[in-house]
Amino acid sequence: MSALPKPQETTPVLTPAELTRRRETSSFWFRMLRDDICDAFEQLEEEAAAIGLYNGKPGRFKRTHWQREEGGGGEMSLMRGLAFEKVGVNISGVWGTFSEQFRREMPGGEKMPCFFATGISLVAHMANPHVPAVHMNTRFIATGDRPVVAERNSVFQEPPGEPSYKSWFGGGADLTPVFENKEIESQFHGAFRATCGRHTPGDYDKYKKWCDEYFFIKHRGEARGAGGIFYDYLVSEDWEADFAFTQDVGKTFLEIYPELVRQTMQTPWSEEDRQAQRLKRARYVEFNLLYDRGTRFGLMTGGNPEAILMSMPPEAVWP
């Protein structure tokens, strides 16, 4: 992991300069983490190619840049490989003004209608049904009573007086095995429990429960997977501490998930196992399109459908 820019002291008032520093520091981190994750996953592809179970050449990520009309854009990294049947790793940094309707729906949206959001979002669907699918996302959000990033052709009327901004982190990671695997699940949970334990803002019990509640498929009365952690609106007194925790969530993912892939990707599978995987993936589709806030919000507000739907599994069945 390369070195980060040295953080300045946290200021009690969120000045435009401090906001700029937070924006740039977090964006830079998400990009570095993306590079490290893609490298680690490509390394796993090399290891899969050496196992007799997988046929073909190791996968490599393809990167696509996209821009957003209102402001910002992102990079999608997509790999179709041997162990990774389909994996998408997105980073983005977008800004603008909430629509009139969305302002009314968002708590505080009327007073703070301008936003900036940057983050990394990743979903991996694995070829081997014994290797759990995984999702990881961390993000930094800022809102303000005037543009967080200057917009071209903005029609926004800036209010008089001092600018008012707030910012927070959100994120998490969760595992979706096709077949229950207590050993693997326990290692995943243990890694994030340890990470939460190392940080003042890390409340493992709260974030684990939040994850279980969020990734629940209500109409089926079942969990999407085996859970993990989920947190949002993280804004303690100490921005550096919140950021360090968010970085550590990403680093923990980068350490534990490749390890779990190594432990499971050598297990042979049958066509029955693949069919069980397709059924599980159909539940994943149901969750993402019916309930996932990021997916629905992105698609409903003119986001890039290719980037947003990169999380969809390669195959699903409703027999």
- Give the nearer residue to its own copies in terms of CB position, either 111 or 220: 220
CB of 170 to its own copies, least distance (A): 23
- Helical pair 182-197 and 239-264, crossing angle rounded to 10 deg: 160
Q: Is 86 within 8 Å of 131 (Cβ atoms)?
A: no
Q: Is 34 within 8 Å of 137 (Cβ atoms)?
A: no
Of 130, 135, 189, 199, the active-site residue reads: 135
Task: Name the residues that contact its own copies, by CB under 8 A.
Answer: 80, 86, 218-220, 278, 282, 285-286, 289-290, 296, 299-300, 302-303, 305, 308-309, 312-319
The Cα–Cα gap between 52 and 304 comes to 38
CB of 286 to its own copies, least distance (A): 6
- Give the nearer residue to its own copies in terms of CB position, either 35 or 286: 286
Burial of 79: CB neighbours in 10 Å, binned 0-12, 13-18, 19+: buried
CB of 78 to its own copies, least distance (A): 10
CB of 315 to its own copies, least distance (A): 5
Distance from the first to the final alpha carbon of the chain? 45
- Give the nearer residue to its own copies in terms of CB position, either 108 or 305: 305
- Give the nearer residue to its own copies in terms of CB position, either 126 or 254: 126
The Cα–Cα gap between 298 and 305 comes to 8
The Cα–Cα gap between 53 and 70 comes to 47
Q: Which long-range contacts (CB under 8 A, 24 or more apart) does 53-58 make?
A: 53/128, 53/265, 53/266, 53/268, 54/82, 54/83, 54/127, 55/82, 56/82, 57/82, 58/82
Would residue 125 show up in a list of annotated catalytic residues for this protein? no
- Give the nearer residue to its own copies in terms of CB position, either 34 or 278: 278
Categorise residue 274: left if φ over 0, alpha if ψ from -120 to 50, beta otherwise: alpha
CB of 201 to its own copies, least distance (A): 33
**Which residues are annotated as catalytic?**
135
